[in-house]
Amino acid sequence: MGARDRIVGTAYDLFSHHGIRAVGVDRIVAESGVAKMSLYRHFRSKDELVLAFLQERERRWTNEWLRAEAERRGATAAERMLAIFDVFGEWFVVDDFEGCAFINVLLEYDDRENAIRQATVEHLRNIRSFLRELATEAGASDPEALAHQWHILMKGSIVAAGEGDQLAARRAREIGQLLLEREAISI
C-alpha cells in the first residue's frame, strides 16, 4: 500500500471515530507511519485530506456497503428501501458504532461557505439521489419528497442509535412501511 493510501486509510479510521477537529495531522502522520512531508506532498492541507476522507467515506459507506447491501437484500425497490433499515439495525449494535461521518462533519462545520461543509452536503445529496432512484422505481407519486422523507428517517435513526436506542432502525423501518403504504406501494 502506498503512502497516499496509508494516509487516507488512517485518516478515515481516525476521522470516522473521533471527528475532524479532534484529530491533528501529527496523529495521522504517527499512526500512518509516513513522514509529515509525505502527507503534505499528497495533500496541501488538512482540509484537502478531509475532502479525500469524505470521498472515501462515500465510496466505502454509501456505495460499497449501504447501497450494495440494500440491492443484495431487496428484490424490489420498496424492499431495497426497507432493507436500508435492516442494514442499519446490524450497524447500530456493533461495538465501534461511529455514527454517520457526513452528519458528524456537517455539525462540526457550521460555515455554509466552507468547502468541507459544501462537500458534505453534496455527499448527503448523493444519498438522496439514490433514494430518489428507488422511490421512482417503486412508483412513488413524488419521488423527490419520498427521498427526503426517507433520508430524514435514516439520519434520525442514526442519531437515535448514537443516543443508545438499539431499536432505532426497527422503529424507522416501521415508519418507512407507513410511508410506502401511504403511497400505495406494495412491499
Question: Which domain, by its residues, includes 69?
Answer: 47-182
Question: Is the pTM above the cut of 0.85?
Answer: yes
Q: What is the pLDDT of residue 143?
A: 98
Say if 21 falls within a structural domain.
Answer: no
- Mean pLDDT of all residues in 95-104: 93
Number of independent structural domains in the chain:
1
- The per-residue pLDDT for range 139-176, each reduced to its tens digit, is 999 999 999 999 999 999 999 999 999 999 999 999 99
Cell of residue 42, nine digits? 499528497
Decide if 97 is inside a domain.
yes
Length of the chain: 187
Nearest to 161 by CA among 102, 107, 99: 99
For 107-117, write each residue's pLDDT tens digit. Answer: 999 999 999 99
Residue 124 forms part of a structural domain: yes
* Residue 106, domain CATH: 1.10.357.10
The closest of 103, 112, 114 to 57, measured between CA atoms, is 103
Per-residue pLDDT of 21-59, as tens digits, reads: 999 999 999 999 999 999 999 999 999 999 999 999 999
Whether 34 is in a domain gets the answer: no
